[in-house]
Structure 1
Amino acid sequence: MADWVLAAAGIGVAVWQLTPTLAAMDDLGARLASLRWGWLGMGVACATASLVAYGELQRLLLVAGGNRLRPATVQAVNFVANAFAQTVPSAGATAGAAYTVAALRRRGVDTGLSLWATTVAGALSASVLLAAAPYALAFDGLLDWWSATGLACVVTLLLGAAAWLVDRPASLAWVSRRTVSVVRRLPIVRHRGWAVAGPQAVGRIFARIARLRPRAREYAGFAAVAALSWMLDLWSLACCGLAVAGSVPWPAVVVGYLAVQASIGLQLTPNGAGPAETALLAALTTGGLAAPAAAIAVLLYRGASWLLPTAAGWVTFLAVAHHDR
């Protein structure tokens, strides 16, 4: 209940921030009628393509593990998982990942590979954004380029060290033991077969994961697809701004985009509702975009990148559930 109260509060903050600006417009109807529909259509298409690119990343990881599910099947799982992740308060990312693993298992993917592909996709996507963030801040003038390069190198080295450590068999064995010791204390899952079976059952799953060792060239390809997903989403935001204004302040767009992703990452509310809109509106207006145009751009982008894909995911979920009966 507390999570849903927090979610409602977040949405209330978004309404509180945007409503005064929209209400102050005498020409709101005229502004909406004069939207550049080509730019808006491109924004919606890019937001959808961004989600599709993330699904393709998961499919490529599955292929690297020896499983070749049909692209349409992987995308259906991806869209539904995104709907879970963007709707459930606080634990949305966990709910989305849990659905992905369960759905892949139902489609014949073994537990180890489904866990690995889901985890690596999320971790690699986040790592690409973290490594690029210092350059985005430099683009806005908040860091100089040398400092940004140094910070990006430090982030990359730390992420690489973490990946190397987790990839060691001894580390995976330790994780399997700790996983079992924790879940045996959780009332919901402690009676599940793999938890009762002990570290051996979990160890077999992690042993399967330990055998998944794509080459460096494959990881570079994975990272490129993850970067493409982020760039498409960023371009979606820019297109939504261009739909209401002749030009957009690019440094402010980039920083506002990072602020939205940080709000989403905190998982306090569904898709960062409240903090995300507040931060993006502040970034755009500070960057020089007129408040009315900025408010409409925020609404368009959040609709294109959050509400529409989430609705598509739930429709897909209902269609899949009906098909599986």
Structure 2
Amino acid sequence: MSQIRIDELPGPLTLTRSPSPSPSPCPSPSPSSPALSFSPARHVRLALSLVPLLLIGAWAAVDWRAMHDGTARLASADPWWLLAGMVFTCLCWVSAAVTRQGAIPERLPPGPLLASQFAAGAANHVLPAGIGAHAVTLRFLQGRGISLARATASLALYSLVKPIAKMVLILAFLLAFPGTLRIGQLVPDGQTLLLVAAGVLVGLAATAVLLTVVRRLRRPLLDFVRTALTDARILHTRPSRVLALWGGAAAFPLFQAGVLASVGASLGLPLPWPHVVFAYLAASAVAGAVPAPGGIGPVDAALVIALVVFGAPMTLATASVIGYRVLTVWLPLLPGAIVLSALVRRKVL
């Protein structure tokens, strides 16, 4: 109803009708209201955070027999040597984080960097040829404000330094133990070396043809090479980065070999540690080029053969390799996938 108001003015009293207040419109829901908000990016990120867990479950279902056999054999092993193997496994993630820091001039936060490498280990066992670990690290570096070109150059330097450091270690072992290491059966034959050389030449020729035909790739490739060379020169003028890059790259395969040697010692493998370490270095160098997820399959077969060549019984060699895979792959796999999902949800990756 309209309100009646009496105006006290000189003269006779007058009655005026004031306009009734217009009804306020119903408040429209705020677009940021939690009940009505819908962010497709958020749902996509949530789905991506669940993908690693689904892939891990599928892989465990396919390879359940190997995981079961390895766990059963580890149940009767020496627990103290298995604990030493777990320590070496943790040191592998630390050395990977140190190497990643050495491959980039910027200072990275140690905690998130270590967490990203722990998560990268889970991703690396799902995708072949280290693609999973590189993808996680690339997202982490970009999240720290590093450009795509410089982050990619860092990954390239990391991938180049690792095999060089491993070859240096192999030569060091050959010089330190010239008469005790049986390398005759571990050296690839001439046909294998020819196939490797042919593959390298075909790859180089295909790259040259691609750059000749697709001219748009020339400029990005030249920019990438220029960035990579500039960053590599800057890094090698800093002693701390040189130590982190090359020291971490050399420590990683030694820690991996320490896991294998610890598992072998827990099962009574009758081989000295230098032989086990060299067997791992040689087998991983020969079979690591095969694009299998985490190197599982070709590296395992090469490890068993290398241990047998050095004098280990086939059953103990197989059990040691299975136990090595349980410690380095299966036990950290689920926690690594959980950390990966958490980093994705928190937008660290």
TM-score (norm 1): 0.65
Residue 220 of structure 1, CA deviation: 4.6
- Out of 235, 243, 260, the residue aligned to residue 258 of structure 2 is 235
Does residue 1:323 correspond to 2:342, yes or no?
A: no
1:267 to 2:290 alignment: yes
Q: Which residue of 1 aligns with 2:126?
A: 87
- The answer (yes or no) to whether the contact 2:120–2:134 under 8 Å persists in 1 is yes
Deviation at 1:118, TM superposition (A): 1.6
Q: Which residue of 1 aligns with 2:100?
A: 58
Counterpart of 2:149, as a letter, is G
- Deviation, structure 1 residue 121: 1.7
2:298 maps to a residue whose letter is P
Matches of residues 271-282 of structure 1 in structure 2 within 5 Å?
Answer: 271-282=294-305
Residue 284 of structure 1 corresponds to 307
Mapped to 1, the partners of 2:253 and 2:292 lie a distance apart of 21
Count of residue pairs the alignment pairs up: 260
Structure 2's unaligned 5+ residue stretches are 1-58, 185-206
CA distance in 2 between partners of 1:80 and 1:33 (Å): 27
Give, in angstroms, the shift of residue 244 of structure 1: 1.2
Q: Which amino acid in 1 is paired with 2:346?
A: H
Q: Sequence identity, in percent? A: 22
Q: Residue 46 of structure 1 contacts residue 235 of structure 1 at CA under 8 Å; is this kept in 2?
A: yes
Give the gaps of 5 or more residues in structure 1.
1-7, 145-176, 186-194
CA contact (8 A) 2:119 2:336 kept: yes
Equivalent in 120, 136, 141 of residue 181 of structure 2: 141
Describe the superposition over 1:242-293 as per-residue Cα deviations: whole angstroms up to 9, x where unpaired.
1111753335413431354136522342223233222222333443334443
- Which of 93, 103, 119 is residue 140 of structure 2 equivalent to? 103
Give the conservation status (yes or no) of the 8 Å contact 1:263–1:271: no
Q: TM-score, normalised by structure 2?
A: 0.61
Partners of 2:142 and 2:151 within 8 A in 1 = yes
Q: Give the structure 2 partner of residue 124 of structure 1.
A: 161
Q: Distance in 2 between matches of 1:279 and 1:72?
A: 35
Alpha-carbon shift at residue 237 of structure 1 (Å): 1.1
1:41 corresponds to: 83
Superposed CA deviations along residues 50-83 of structure 1, whole A, max 9, x for unmatched, are 1221111112332xx2x22211222233233333
Is the contact made by 1:136 and 1:254 (CA closer than 8 Å) also made in structure 2? no
Whose radius of gyration is greater, 1 or 2?
2
**Secondary structure of residue in 2 paired with 1:69:** coil
2:117 equivalent among 78, 88, 105: 78
Seen in structure 2, the aligned counterparts of structure 1 residues 263 and 322 have a Cα distance that, compared at 3 Å, is farther
Deviation by residue 1:73-112 (Cα, 9 ceiling, x = unmatched): 22233233333332214xx323432342233112211223
Shift of 1:43: 0.4
Contact 1:137 / 1:143 at 8 angstroms: preserved in 2?
no
Q: Cα RMSD (Å) of the superposition?
A: 3.9
Find the partner of 1:211 among 198, 205, 230: 230
Report the Cα distance in structure 1 between the residues aligned to 2:110 and 2:220, rounded to whole angstroms: 30
